Amino acid sequence: MKTFRLLFLPLLVAAFAAPVVAQPKISGIAKAMEPSAVAYVTSSAFLDPATGIKQLVKTTQALELEFSSTQSDLSLRGEKLRTLVSELQKLSADPVLNAKAIADKQAQGQQMQQELQARQQNAQEAFNKRAQEMQGPVTTEISKELRAFALQRDIALVFDATKMGDVMLAAKPELDITAEFIGYYNAKHP
């Protein structure tokens, strides 16, 4: 039994000493941090036709032009559906006399609504895919240039105020580098 106690004693000491040794040493000197520059951009301004990033505006306009016929078709189908609904409301004034016509219009309206929703979903998927193809390279380049722009000006952190929403409660206007960055980008990428 004594040998067991003798073997157990060093294990017990090691178990209690290990956490003490593993703790980091605390020095009395704290490392001084230099102040860092912070700025923000408003990326929604990049799309402004007059003052935005020219490449991004051009690709967005080309995308809108490419899908304008699809948008017109969807609008026309939506208008036809609204017309059918108003016809159905007129027929409902006398449901007994117009029961067959009401049932036919309701069936037609449901079919039109299903077709419209399917077309809208397909159009949205096609638009998103094409937007990624067209705008993806431009937005990647914008991100790269924004990092370079911040590095040149010794800005440690850049926020996007557009994506911050209600999180950003207040900021000094002089921290907004949007216009300066747009000018920089447009000069580099005419």
pLDDT tens-digit map of 78-134: 999 999 888 888 877 776 777 888 888 889 989 999 999 999 999 999 999 999 999
Give residue 34's pLDDT.
Answer: 75
Distance of CA 86 to the CA centre of its chain: 38
* Contact by Cβ (8 Å): 138, 55: yes
Diameter of the chain by CA atoms?
A: 107
* DSSP-derived secondary structure for the chain: -HHHHHHHHHHHHHHHHHHHHHSPPPPS-PPPPPP-EEEEE-GGGGG-TTTS-HHHHHHHHHHHHHTHHHHHHHHHHHHHHHHHHHHHHHHTTSTTTTHHHHHHHHHHHHHHHHHHHHHHHHHHHHHHHHHHHHHHHHHHHHHHHHHHHHHHTTEEEEEEHHHHGGG-----GGGB-HHHHHHHHHHH--
Over its C-alpha atoms, the chain yields an Rg (Å, rounded) of: 33
* Contact by Cβ (8 Å): 53, 182: yes
Does residue 145 or residue 16 have the better pLDDT? 145
Tell me the one-letter amino acid at 36.
S
pLDDT (tens digit per residue) in 148-190: 999 999 999 999 989 887 777 788 889 999 999 999 999 999 8
Q: What residue ranges define each of the domains in the chain, with the CATH number in brackets?
A: 18-188 (3.30.910.20)
pTM of the model: 0.67
Give residue 3's pLDDT.
Answer: 42
